[in-house]
Chain A
Amino acid sequence: MNEEEIKKTVFQLLKNIAPETDPSLLMPEENIREALNIDSFDALQFIVSLCEKLKVDIPEEDYGKTSNLKSLIGYLIQKTKG
């Protein structure tokens, strides 16, 4: 899966959680949860859906790497390569 496809998936999953927002407008280093007003419960649901959709495992200690688009996309590219 290439960067574009990963980005598309991320936007789609964020849109499912925060339907009234436009995740594609996020700045690369903007805090995703703050910008889209996502609470702790939905943040976990987002990670669950990422794991299921991209068939990766995101351990709890890596949750910090999912906070903004730049680090999240980089992290997922690494993960999906492996």
Chain B
Amino acid sequence: MIKFLMPNLGADMEDGVLVEWRKQPGDFLQKGDIIADIDTQKGLIEIEVFDEGVLEKILVKEGQKVPVGSVLALINDGKGEEIRESSGDNPTPEVPKILEPQEQAKTKSTEEHRIKISPLARKIAESNGIDLTLLKGTGPEGSIVKEDVEKAISERIANKPVPQPEEKTKEAPEESVNVSRTTSDSIRMAVAAAMSKSNREIPHYFLEKRMDMSKALEWMKESNKTRPVQKRILPVAMLIKAVAKALDEVPDLNATWENGLQRKNEINIGFVVSLRSGGIMVPAILQADSKTVEEIMETLNDLIPRARAFKLRSSELSQSTFTITSIGEGGADKVFGLIYPPQVGIVGFGEISEQPFAEEGMLGIRPVVDVTLSADHRATDGLIGSRFLAALNKHLQNPESL
């Protein structure tokens, strides 16, 4: 039996409203199926399942607001009665906080009455006032061990509201204004929360390199001539692919910082999409390293309009391992991004513009782009960041092999 949890769709997400169950008890579920729609600060999100099995039991009613990490349903995977976490769950679910204690919350706590916990963990938890029913065990058979309790304590400290103005404004309107608040307002608050956390917790370092785009643009121009207008690519598709290839060479940047550096197996690139009404959405281009430039452009053609219409899937919001922000035509020359926690890096592309560019003793006018890397100094040092920018540049100079 697998617990299907409210997914964490970003560092800024605390809860969501279960709007609609798309599957009913008894339905067979396959990996990637949409199981429910959840209303979050980032709009209505389609939630996917990561396990195969039969939907056994629904634990949360439609319309109910539940915190991240809550058990939404049980999935029977035919592997016995023992209850396990879903394999696709976010590696660090927040310690669940009960926002609206309702029937479901009560049944949940009675279900978890017999808590398996090591004596040492119990002692530490009791002396620190940690509620054991809210903990998730990572020890044998799901028992709570010392590390789980320590993590809960450190998260409690980390989550404790620091007396800062943006924290207060974030907390205050949470419940009361909920109904009248528009999606664009809530996105503003989500961005505010994530970026405040980033700026507060991540010691950023910044690097910058100017890159010659003449070969890449020439290649794009030639290949676009053979494409119908619907299939034409934009420079950003090449930039995304080059970043994915550079991350493959410098894997320490394709990672998260969660009690140390956690490298990620997949290269899923979050791409910053700005909304006309203000605010941003950062959907992921999944496995960007294994997609061609054309496939990345197709993904963007699908993803950008859906991001702007607030119609994204849970995997697209929760699986990013690195972020790209690109200014595009007619904008600023450089952009220094703030890292989206718990990631450890973000690349910023300024506008591609013609500039004097010297090479091999010759000065010429070339299209160039100023590329910046903001990286987490806890996770990597400047040498790694510099290696990444050099690798990125190398790939942009060989566009035909992108």
Interface digits, A35-71 against B, CB 8 Å rule (1 contact, 0 not)? 0010111011101100100000111110000000000
Given contacts A20-B276, A60-B224, A44 and B234 within 8 Å (CB-CB): yes
- Distance in angstroms from B308 CB to nearest chain A CB is 9
Asked if residues B232 and A60 are in contact (CB atoms below 8 Å), the reply is yes
Within 8 A of A (CB), among B298-312: 300, 304-305
Asked if residues A43 and B276 are in contact (CB atoms below 8 Å), the reply is no
Q: How far is the CA of A71 from the CA of B147 in the complex (A)?
A: 67
Chain B minimum-CB-distance residue to A56: B229
Asked if residues A39 and B328 are in contact (CB atoms below 8 Å), the reply is yes
- Indicate if A34 sits at the interface (CB-CB under 8 A): yes
Chain A interface residue bracket vs B: 20 to 34
Q: How far is the CA of A48 from the CA of B224 in the complex (A)?
A: 13
Chain B minimum-CB-distance residue to A34: B330
The chain A residues found within 8 Å of chain B, CB to CB, are 18-20, 33-34, 37, 39-41, 43-45, 47-48, 51, 57-61
Give 5 A-B pairs besides A20-B276, A33-B329, A34-B330 with Cβ atoms closer than 8 angstroms: A39-B328, A40-B236, A40-B328, A60-B232, A61-B221
Chain B minimum-CB-distance residue to A44: B234
Asked if residues A48 and B276 are in contact (CB atoms below 8 Å), the reply is no
Q: How far is the CA of A74 from the CA of B300 in the complex (A)?
A: 31
Q: How far is the CA of A59 from the CA of B227 in the complex (A)?
A: 10
Asked if residues A37 and B276 are in contact (CB atoms below 8 Å), the reply is yes
Instruction: Report how many residues on chain B are interfacial, defined by Cβ distance under 8 Å.
Output: 18
- Indicate if B176 sits at the interface (CB-CB under 8 A): no
The chain B residues found within 8 Å of chain A, CB to CB, are 221, 224-225, 229-230, 232, 234-236, 274, 276-277, 300, 304-305, 328-330
Interface residues of chain B: helix, strand, loop or mixed (majority): helix
Q: Which residues of chain A are within 8 angstroms of B300 by Cβ–Cβ distance? A: 41
Q: How far is the CA of A37 from the CA of B277 in the complex (A)?
A: 11
Asked if residues A40 and B232 are in contact (CB atoms below 8 Å), the reply is no
Q: How far is the CA of A61 from the CA of B221 in the complex (A)?
A: 8
Asked if residues B330 and A33 are in contact (CB atoms below 8 Å), the reply is yes
Asked if residues B234 and A40 are in contact (CB atoms below 8 Å), the reply is yes
Q: Which residues of chain B are within 8 angstroms of A45 by Cβ–Cβ distance? A: 305
Asked if residues B329 and A40 are in contact (CB atoms below 8 Å), the reply is yes
Q: Which residues of chain B are within 8 angstroms of A44 by Cβ–Cβ distance? A: 232, 234
Q: Which residues of chain A are within 8 angstroms of B230 by Cβ–Cβ distance? A: 48
- Distance in angstroms from A59 CB to nearest chain B CB is 7
Given contacts A33-B329, A40-B234, A44-B234, A51 and B229 within 8 Å (CB-CB): yes
Q: Which residues of chain B are within 8 angstroms of A18 by Cβ–Cβ distance? A: 276
- Distance in angstroms from B132 CB to nearest chain A CB is 49
Counting chain A CB atoms within 10 Å of each CB, the highest count among B234, B300, B330 belongs to B330
- Distance in angstroms from B279 CB to nearest chain A CB is 14
Q: How far is the CA of A60 from the CA of B218 in the complex (A)?
A: 12
Asked if residues A39 and B274 are in contact (CB atoms below 8 Å), the reply is yes
Q: How far is the CA of A82 from the CA of B330 in the complex (A)?
A: 32
12 contacts between A and B (CB under 8 A): A19-B276, A20-B276, A20-B277, A33-B329, A39-B328, A41-B236, A41-B300, A41-B304, A41-B328, A44-B232, A60-B232, A61-B221
Asked if residues A41 and B329 are in contact (CB atoms below 8 Å), the reply is no
Q: Which residues of chain A are within 8 angstroms of B329 by Cβ–Cβ distance? A: 33, 39-40, 43
Asked if residues A48 and B236 are in contact (CB atoms below 8 Å), the reply is no
- Distance in angstroms from A47 CB to nearest chain B CB is 6
Q: How far is the CA of A80 from the CA of B329 in the complex (A)?
A: 28
Top 4 closest pairs, chain A to chain B, by CB = A40-B328, A51-B229, A40-B329, A60-B224
